[in-house]
Amino acid sequence: MNTSHGPGVPLGDRFGRHITYLRISLTEHCNLRCQYCSPARGTPRFARADHLRPAELDRFLTLFHALGIRHMRFTGGEPLLYPWLIDRIAHVHALGVPKISLSTNGYLLDRLARPLADAGLNRINVSLDSLDPARFAQITRGGDLERVKRGLFAARNALPAIKINVVLLRNRNLAEVPMLVEFARTEGFDIQFIETMPLGSAGSGTKDDAYASVADARALLACHYELKAIEGSADEGPSRRFTIAGSGIRIGFISPISENFCAGCNRLRLTATGRLVYCLGQSDGVDLLPLLRTGRGNDDLERFIRQKVWLEKPERHTFNDDPSRAAPVYMMRLGG
């Protein structure tokens, strides 16, 4: 068991994986209701008293940095709705975390891109599932495509690394894959395509009636571009990356269903309520907030987290052989 302490020493699990990437969900709330993420009725309300206070979140961020985390990604729900986001990014930047990223729907990005960059954010992912306004509104249940594009262009003027996220949906946006890549190539954005996952009622329903594999997307692109595989660092996540001739952009494919990548998993997730979740595809985890509020010291919390991750982080998700384990997972609480 890895019981070493100090900044830069990674967490480890019993399968030989080093944990260097933490995804932090700041809020369960969102200003869109995407079909694969949110129930049609919208987001339930969660009691504010159950959520981490800003100072409590800062303490956890400091603790995980000491545990060797070198990539922190802020997610939601929609993280740009979180009132104290800029200060949390500034805190992580002051700690010296080298990779500070954020995943957003882009709705508020046109006015927040510059403050985010000034606080220390150095990479951002923006969801863009269609370039057709009507189809985009259908997938997001009312979203405004032009507003998201304004956010993307504002981010391009402020941040060094911007990536478009596209969830693949058969009979909805799959045929748009070449057009989305051409938009990314023309505008200078990286882009990645993601298989939909059976998370909660929304994700399970979407997977059943609209699942498309990354192989489907690559086949469409092969008619237009020559893809050349490139290597990426482990803390960038599970995306398999490619370039295309004559362009500097990168095209990624994330394949949780068709091409399992759990052997290289290096991430944990911290929810807005202080729950540490080991795997996106299962609800297993541990509630850290009660320990913090009952006065546990940092050394004690470090030892506790190391032990729990070592003993309880699963070897793999069970999307294919036991999808029921993903059914209780609420995407809006974990942020993907």
Mean pLDDT of 262-282: 90
Instruction: Work out the percent of the chain whose per-residue pLDDT is above 70.
Output: 84
Residue 161, pLDDT score: 96
Q: Where are the domains of the chain?
A: 12-334
Give which of 74, 75, 65 is closest to 11, Cα–Cα.
65
**Across the chain, where does the E strand assignment appear?**
11-12, 18-19, 21-25, 71-75, 99-104, 123-127, 162-168, 190-195, 227-230, 240-244, 250-254, 267-270, 275-277, 285-287
pLDDT per position as a tens digit, 206-244? 556 788 999 999 999 999 999 999 987 655 668 899 999
Residue 235, pLDDT score: 58
The answer for residues whose C-beta is within 8 angstroms of residue 38's C-beta and 6 or more apart is 30, 32, 141, 202, 331, 332
213: which 2 tokens?
């594999």
CATH homologous superfamily for the domain 12-334: Aldolase class I (3.20.20.70)
State the Cα–Cα distance between residues 4 and 10, nearest whole angstrom: 8
State the Cα–Cα distance between residues 174 and 95, nearest whole angstrom: 41
DSSP structural state of residue 9:
P
pLDDT per position as a tens digit, 107-122? 999 999 999 999 999 9
State the Cα–Cα distance between residues 327 and 201, nearest whole angstrom: 7
Angle between helix 133-140 and 145-156 (nearest 10): 100
Beta bridge partners of 165: 127, 192
pLDDT per position as a tens digit, 286-327? 999 999 999 999 999 999 999 999 999 988 766 656 655 555
Q: pTM (2 decimals)?
A: 0.92
Q: From residue 320, how far is each of 16, 198, 294, 335 by CA, in Å?
A: 24, 9, 40, 21
DSSP structural state of residue 265:
-
327: which 2 tokens?
């059914």
